[in-house]
Amino acid sequence: MNRDSETMKERSIFDILNESFAAFGKGFREYVLISLMVFAPANLITFLGPRTSLQQYVSDGSIPGSAVIFYIAVAIVTLVSTTAVWSASSVATGQQMVTGNINIKDCFQRVSWRIYSLFFLSFVLTICLALGLIGIALIIPAVASLFFLLMASFALPVALYERKKYTSALIRSFQLVKVNWIRILGAMSLIVLIMLGITVLISTPTLFMASPVAGGVSMLALVIQYFLSLVANTVAVVISAVAVTLIYFDTRVRIEGFDEGQLSSEIGYQT
């Protein structure tokens, strides 16, 4: 990340991945603080849920109404907290490229400027992902959902950096992605695989914490799950935000000659 040069160079997919981990390491403290400020309180909802595991409910063939409400609440809290951390981490990436530092307050302030658009876009992307995975047996709906997900993959960075509302952000994302969609598809697929691998690796111990006899989850298991989920969420969400943001920058460099002067202007800093 050379701040002395006005021109941002084009990067290969592997250069972007390497730079993503380097950026995470350089701003490790700030990225972790961004994550913990949101995920630490949000993940406390784990302790409010039923002590019976979801797997046990599924095997029993019925889920109580209170459990359904709980899992809906978890889904909403997860969506909101993930969107907030991802968006703030994306802004932090731009700050780090321009100034070499991360101002956490400024990150969340920028997120607050487009809070409704960001949550709406995140909800739309989540629905598309769910439809793509659930409807995998129905080829056409699954392909359509995943295609929309790819074309809208820059919507959040567009809303954050170019200050566009949700509809304009989606249109702008489609315009950017369609120019080189094969390259972006490869990059996004690689990011998803890496993040899934990291999440599974960190979260694996939680698979063995439900009691095979009573089907319940002990308080100790919940505490361990809580801390493991914090680590998994921090690594997966932050690094994916950094990587996607860098791909977004790189795409604009290739198409528009995007440079650090423009980036500095968009985030409100002067180099």
User: What does the pLDDT profile of the chain (271 residues) look like in tens digits?
Assistant: 444 446 688 999 999 999 999 999 999 999 999 999 999 998 887 667 665 555 566 566 667 777 778 878 888 999 999 999 999 999 999 999 999 999 999 999 999 998 999 999 999 999 888 877 776 656 667 788 889 999 999 999 999 999 999 999 999 999 999 999 999 999 999 999 998 888 888 877 766 655 444 445 567 777 888 888 899 989 999 999 999 999 999 999 999 999 989 999 998 875 4
Burial of 40 (0-12, 13-18, 19+ CB in 10 A): middle
- Rounded to whole angstroms, the Cα distance separating 92 from 102 reads 6
Q: Which residues contact 156 (CB under 8 A, 6 or more apart)?
A: 83, 86, 87, 90, 118, 121, 122, 125, 169, 244
Instruction: Tell me what pLDDT residue 81 has.
Output: 94
Identify the three-state secondary structure at position 7: strand
Instruction: Let me know how many helices (H) and strands (E) the chain has, helices first.
Output: 12, 0
* Nearest in space to 205 (alpha carbons), one of 242, 233, 232, 236: 232
- Tell me the two tokens of residue 127: 């629905």
On the CB side of 196, CA atoms within 13 Å amount to 6
- Rounded to whole angstroms, the Cα distance separating 244 from 191 reads 8
Instruction: Tell me what pLDDT residue 213 has.
Output: 41
Q: Are 98 and 264 in contact (CB under 8 A)?
A: yes
- Give strand pairing partners of 216: 52
- Tell me the two tokens of residue 97: 């490229």
- Tell me the two tokens of residue 60: 């029993």
